Amino acid sequence: MLLQYTMLTGMPPFLDVGNRELSESAMTGMMQRIKAGSYSQDTAEWQCISDDAKKLVQGINSFVL
């Protein structure tokens, strides 16, 4: 899921949408989102991604988590 997400959007998943810096607090928040499986497909990076590709990432994520 991580590889597909990054390849499709050019950004790693689980980053804070409002904070793209990798500070210590951002990393802590990222770890919490990873554990919860919390990510969004409602960001600008996903606007040009096909529905089939989105479903692929969702399916892989639900299988892994």
What region does 14 belong to: left with phi over 0, alpha with psi -120 to 50, or beta? left
Q: What is the pLDDT of residue 63?
A: 64
Residue predicted with more confidence, 42 or 50: 50
Give the tokens for residue 5. Answer: 């997400």
The tens digit of pLDDT for each residue in 5-46 reads 888 888 777 776 666 666 777 778 878 877 787 777 888 888
The mean-pLDDT minimum among 1-5, 14-18, 58-62 falls in 14-18
pTM (2 decimals)?
Answer: 0.60
Nearest to 49 by CA among 37, 60, 58, 62: 58
Q: What is the pLDDT of residue 51?
A: 93
Return d(Cα 12, Cα 23) in angstroms, integer. Answer: 15
3-state secondary structure of 4: helix
